[in-house]
Amino acid sequence: MIMVYCEQRNGELLNVGLELIGKAAQLSKDLDREVVAVVCGNKITHLAEKLANYGATRVIALQHPLLEKYTVDGYTEALYQVVQSENPDILLIGATLTGRELGPRLAARLKTGLTADCTNLEIDPESKLLLMTRPAFGGNLMATIICPNKKPQMATIRPGVFPIPQADTQRTSEVYVFTPKLREEDIKVKVEQVIAKVRRHKDISAEKIIVAGGRGVGSKENFDLLEELAELLGGGIAGSRAAVDEGWLPKDLQVGQTGKVVRPKLYIAIGISGAIQHLAGMQESEYIIAINKDPEAPIMKVADLAIVGDWKPIVKRLIQQLKQNMA
């Protein structure tokens, strides 16, 4: 069995769980195993139906009043109990903030290995083992890791790496409620209040159009022009690590190996050189436009349209043109 942990926040499923169900359904063809989705919380059976639409053959609603709010103790124990009972061959978890915390704790408790932050998964045709690929040595090479002696083979996978499969409302699956044995004293952390951070920007992994800027943009003020362009196109802004390190953008807008993985329909890279760590986060975009004064910059090689020149007059012209078209 391939088990996929599908994270929910405030009763909403995160996309990464759906992405992983899609990938697990592909892997299951090579492995001839069912795909079981697990969603954890309290009163969450309504989410199970949606997971069936995306390709889970069975859904486990792991619920308990003590799982109402996320705590690492409670969720690790609940997942541990469900894994012990189901004995999956593979367990996939989204590498979100909570997934990165849960995965290693669960792996340690299960005495198995975990490959963190994977960017690809395949099944080895001969050994039928899970091949877990992730960047290594600062992104300079890709390492493919196996876990031959322990079960489950565990991986956390970065959000946005795999596409969300097409939902099929005709597809249904068996929903099974699993009530873990939990005691209040097992949960050392007491969550008294959750204060949601007010975000100025939408989550970039959900944007269809991204205007991204790098060190070549030159200043925080210059990002106002990028914002204007993004707004006219109905998209959002993002940037390279250099732009984030300069303090021009918040960290949650960073694209790349240590930022977010995005796959929008259009990615406009402005003043970004295209270091391998940046490409790791955006090269699956459908159409890439790069604006750079250096024709030899690596970003120009992955771009569908490479514009050589100083970005500012080009972006100003684009903005002017878009405004004229809208008038």
Residue ranges binding ligand FAD (CB under 6 A): 138-139, 214-216, 240-243, 254-259, 271-273, 275, 277-278, 281, 291-294, 297, 310-311
Residues in the chain: 327
Are the C-beta atoms of 42 and 9 separated by less than 8 Å? no
In the bound state with ligand FAD, the residue whose beta carbon lies nearer, of 169 and 219, is 219
Nearest approach in angstroms of CB 193 to ligand FAD is: 32
Nearest approach in angstroms of CB 222 to ligand FAD is: 9
In the bound state with ligand FAD, the residue whose beta carbon lies nearer, of 205 and 254, is 254
Are the C-beta atoms of 291 and 212 separated by less than 8 Å? no
- Cβ-in-10-Å burial (0-12, 13-18, 19+) of 234 comes to exposed
In the bound state with ligand FAD, the residue whose beta carbon lies nearer, of 22 and 214, is 214
In the bound state with ligand FAD, the residue whose beta carbon lies nearer, of 54 and 248, is 248
Residue 53 vs residues 20, 27, 101, 280: alpha-carbon distances, Å: 13, 17, 28, 30
Nearest approach in angstroms of CB 94 to ligand FAD is: 18
In the bound state with ligand FAD, the residue whose beta carbon lies nearer, of 37 and 300, is 300
In the bound state with ligand FAD, the residue whose beta carbon lies nearer, of 28 and 257, is 257
CA distance 258 to 267: 18
Task: For 294-317, give one letter per residue: b (16+ CB within 10 A) or e.
Answer: eeebbbbebbeebbeeebbeebee
Q: In whole angstroms, what separates CA 33 from the centre of its chain?
A: 24
Nearest approach in angstroms of CB 139 to ligand FAD is: 6
50's CB contacts (< 8 A; 6+ apart) are 13, 167
CA distance 223 to 256: 19
317's CB contacts (< 8 A; 6+ apart) are none
Q: In whole angstroms, what separates CA 261 from the centre of its chain?
A: 6
Nearest approach in angstroms of CB 297 to ligand FAD is: 4
Nearest approach in angstroms of CB 316 to ligand FAD is: 12
In the bound state with ligand FAD, the residue whose beta carbon lies nearer, of 237 and 297, is 297
Nearest approach in angstroms of CB 47 to ligand FAD is: 31
CA distance 284 to 162: 10
Nearest approach in angstroms of CB 215 to ligand FAD is: 4
CA distance 196 to 139: 33
In the bound state with ligand FAD, the residue whose beta carbon lies nearer, of 45 and 258, is 258
